Structure 1
Amino acid sequence: MTVSTPLLGVIVLIYLMIIFYLGLLGYKKTKQIDDYMVAGRTIHPYILALSYGATFISTSAIVGFGGAAGALGMGLLWLAVMNIIVGIFIAFVIFGKRTRSIGARLNAVTFPELLGKRFQSRFIQGFSGALIGVFMPLYAGIVLIGGARFLETTLGVNYDIAVLILTIIVAAYVITGGLIAVMYTDALQGAFMFIGMIILLALTYVKLGGVTAAHEALTGMSNLVPESLAAGGHLGWTAMPAFGTPIWWTLVSTLVLGVGIGVLAQPQLAVRFMTVENDKALNRAVFVGGPFILMMTGVAFTVGALSNVYFQKTQGLIAVAAAKGNTDLIMPEYINGAMPELFVVLLMLTLLAAAMSTLSSQFHTMGTAIGHDFYREFIKKGDIGNTVNITRLGIAVTILVSVILAYILPISIIARATAIFFGLCAAAFLPMYIGALFWKRMTKEGAIASLLVGTVSSLFWLTFVHAKEAVPLGISKAIFGMDTLLTGTWTVVDPILVATPIAMIVAVVVSFATKPPSEEHLELCYRK
């Protein structure tokens, strides 16, 4: 179905006017570099929670992971559990408080700067900024894909044009208004997302005959699992895949653990902890962030799996077949086919909000990583003043790269690309981030070693061992004449389970083998 209603234009126009008003408000409040980078460190806890959640949960979660649930089933709900426990409670209460306090003491305005100043290393700040600038466009590209795919199926807009529309709207307020504009618009978009997902869940159960009937019907479809999926361990859409099978490893190691753990080291999320005044604000934010993430992920994964029931009833097909093999189209096809036309418009705004909130944060983070962390601190050694204009230029460059990737990336890429980026961040940043916050004995040398080893080992595993990436890339085949250097189960084990432990071990060993930081510096970082 393609929506065509006079009401659509009015709703979208009002929505965009509000977004641009909030962007203008952010622009007017941006007076100095702290305002542009960390929103002046005075953001309200509820705005923090909604902005964090809206940044975390993008179209990659709703469209990409919802589509993955349509293919793999409700076992993906374990990721929702991880998102709440790790991504909200542990992130805010344990990591967030230390990040806020140390960031304020060191006057850090970005995630790489926090790490660089804690370990007194321009290299750490510059290399981290470069890593974000090079690899985050992959994540931004797939968020663009998710939003554009829904515009394509809902409005009948050409996919290429849809990508440009999304990009131009988001770029306008991110480049001008900085993080204040980003967080204000995120909060509004988060509210849209919350309402939209509640209605989506309710209408789905109504459409499928109620909660019990819907889940019983999905359970009864286990005999319809395609032979190719069954051979990989798929046991039905309400059961976990068979333990140890390729699909089990993909679900558990790549999707659940890759994203569930990787969230702790996401630069665009960690910087948000530095935008509030005190620890009390972080505690209050948990009570908004927890229910928000539960509703976003829980609904997306549940509806994605239940779409199989709808497609079977209406087309005699399972969800993957109805989407012609492209899991990124399962949620858009389901919503456009099953939902009332007016609600499709609301859902379009919900998914636009999800895409725009995440994209705005990604663009801001990539710009600050290139302009502030890499260029100012690493290249120029801090010998230049205000970097806002350079940051804006960095944002423009990374936007261009993200758009190019949105055009060239293959189908069914959203969930996998998200997991790749989250896993890379976990391996590269998480060991030294943990050390920066909680282990005074961790040294600059230990942090640098873990950063380099985590990055290289994660990329090596992706390129030469993990079959999902190694086979399409073909680098291993070209060099060694083998699709992957290892065989068997190793080819389905996600890099996060290999690279992150190796980086942590290296961080500990090298730190104990090198001179500890000075007491004066530790006092500056950790004093009460």
Structure 2
Amino acid sequence: MISESVVAAYLAASLALGAVFKSKADTIEGFLVANREIGDWLLAFTFGATYFSSVVIVVGGAWAYMWGQPSLLIPLFNVVLGALATFMLLGRRINTLSLEHNALTVPELFGRIYSSRGLQRLLGLMAAVGLTLYAATVISGAAAMVGTVFHVNLAAAAFVIAAIMAVYVALGGMYSVAWTDTLQGVIVAAGVAVLLAFSLGHAGGLAALENAKPALPPSKINLRLIFDLALLTSIAVWGLPQLVNRFYTARGPRVVRRATGIATLFAFIVTYGSFLSGLAAAVILQSHPPSDPLKAIPALASIVMGPVGAAMFSAAVLAAAMSTADSIALTVGSAVIYDVLGVRDTRALRAASFLSMIVAAGIAVATLSLPKELASAVTTIFKTGWTLTAGAFLVPVVATVMGARSRAAVVASSLVGALVALAYGASRAAHIAAPLADLSFAVTIAASLAAYIAASIAAPCGRALSRRGA
């Protein structure tokens, strides 16, 4: 009863925050960027909580459980490239550009810089598709944790989680997202740190993890896949709209600079805590392994923390899921209504944000109903969603922030990146062997970059030829 009460109180607090900020979110700017009033601590926590979801805790822990020590490359890249480099190289410039062009979404910033409504629609559509797939994996991870600990149906857990997120996002927009993310970020960091402490005590200390035997035999540990996932979960952040948009909400570039250290520390605690817990699971669960690697972290929490502690840890996983999925709901809703359809109405934005979570929950339920290989299925959908979104946005965002200006290159890069990502995703779903499938993200970004460079060179040549012909 204590654990259920804690989770219920947390969910009630999230809904209450949405209701509190409803009046501030009645304008388009208030709903989408919180009137650009966010300070350094809020920015750091809302960025970190959005970045690190239930995927890094449950699925990342499963990766460490399956693959052992090589998987620690992933948290290293997450901290250095995903958090520190994002704030230092991109954050302040993105904040400045969004203010200069009075842009409220990432697709709108491109539309205004390149004077192209069509480009805004194209990028809005790509964001909606890729992030809906990602949201499904976030909900899947949370449902797996909550369902295992509380012994409830996974499909029911997925829809309840999605519905609660959808309600408070629809109520308070970016205001409620930023404040609930901060609450959720504190819960996530504390929950991961406590689990790691209990796990290390049970396993025999940090030194014991050096001898952790991965659940998979060495022949099945794919180092290329680990490297690709490390890149995917780090530099992909540079092009994910729900994270890029966080810098729009800051009061100014100084806020971004002050938030850098806080966000990096948060990333270190959450990502290393999750992966080291996965290594501890490989030690502790060796004699009674779980039926699926995705259940390694829930099983670990139940053993080292007891029923009440595990239930409370599930609240941290739920918080991690909600802090990511609520941002995705807002981004997908604005992509469809604001960017693609051009509707500037908060009621329509609220409805679209709500529906996006219900659709994602439906995909999550379909994933959770698979008879086996759940961890593999969730990883595939997660990778497809992130790769598609990053393939469409990463190169254009970085090039534009650094001062390059070529609309043709942005369109070519975005289309090629998204199409390559979709091709890889379709091949995995159909179990068809694709070239360099283990490096799908690296190949996608390389193809997107090549398209950007080729179009940048070709566009001026084409204009010169047309002038000469005239």
Which residue among 422, 433, 438 is the counterpart of 1:484? 433
- 1:420, 1:460 → 2: CA distance? 9
What is the TM-score normalised by the length of structure 1? 0.82
Q: Does 1:402 align with 2:360?
A: yes
- 2:265, 2:258 → 1: CA distance? 12
- 1:15, 1:510 → 2: CA distance? 50
Q: Deviations over 1:339-396 (max 9, x none)?
A: 13332232121111111111111111110000100111xxxxxxx5x32222223223
The CA deviation at 1:34 is 0.7
The CA deviation at 1:203 is 0.8
Alignment RMSD, CA only?
1.9
Do 1:61 and 1:415's aligned partners in 2 also have CA atoms closer than 8 Å? no
Q: Deviations over 1:42-64 (max 9, x none)?
A: 10110111111111111111001
Which residue among 319, 327, 331 is the counterpart of 1:361? 327
Match of 2:255 in 1: 281
Do 1:42 and 1:277's aligned partners in 2 also have CA atoms closer than 8 Å? yes
The CA deviation at 1:13 is 3.2
Match of 2:20 in 1: 25
- 2:108, 2:32 → 1: CA distance? 11
Do 2:167 and 2:354's aligned partners in 1 also have CA atoms closer than 8 Å? no
- Spell out the pairing of 1:22-421 with structure 2 (5 A cutoff): 22-212=17-207, 214-218=208-212, 221=213, 229-232=217-220, 234=221, 247-253=222-228, 255-312=229-286, 316-317=287-288, 322-324=289-291, 326-376=292-342, 386-409=344-367, 410=370, 411-412=374-375, 413-421=377-385
Match of 1:445 in 2: 408
Amino acid in structure 2 at the alignment position of 1:395 = S
Do 1:48 and 1:272's aligned partners in 2 also have CA atoms closer than 8 Å? yes
Change (3 A) 1:40 1:71: same
Q: Deviations over 1:167-190 (max 9, x none)?
A: 121111001110111110000010
Which residue among 1, 11, 21 is the counterpart of 1:16? 11
Do 1:8 and 1:345's aligned partners in 2 also have CA atoms closer than 8 Å? yes
Match of 2:467 in 1: none
Amino acid in structure 2 at the alignment position of 1:231 = S
Match of 1:454 in 2: 417
- 1:429, 1:145 → 2: CA distance? 25
Match of 2:464 in 1: none
The CA deviation at 1:136 is 1.5
- 1:340, 1:462 → 2: CA distance? 39
- Which structure has the bigger radius of gyration? 1
- 2:333, 2:27 → 1: CA distance? 16
Secondary structure of the residue aligned to 1:447 is helix
Number of residues of Structure 1 aligned to a counterpart in Structure 2: 455
Secondary structure of the residue aligned to 1:484 is coil
Match of 1:429 in 2: 393
Q: Deviations over 1:254-273 (max 9, x none)?
A: x1112222111111000000
Q: Percent identity?
A: 26
* Structure 2 residues without counterparts, runs of 5 or longer: 462-470
* Structure 1 residues without counterparts, runs of 5 or longer: 1-5, 235-246, 377-383, 475-482, 517-528
Change (3 A) 1:404 1:17: closer
Do 2:58 and 2:297's aligned partners in 1 also have CA atoms closer than 8 Å? yes
Change (3 A) 1:271 1:485: closer
Change (3 A) 1:485 1:344: closer
- 1:210, 1:508 → 2: CA distance? 50
Do 2:163 and 2:357's aligned partners in 1 also have CA atoms closer than 8 Å? no
Amino acid in structure 1 at the alignment position of 2:144 = R
Match of 1:502 in 2: 447
- 1:31, 1:403 → 2: CA distance? 26
Match of 2:465 in 1: none
Amino acid in structure 2 at the alignment position of 1:389 = R
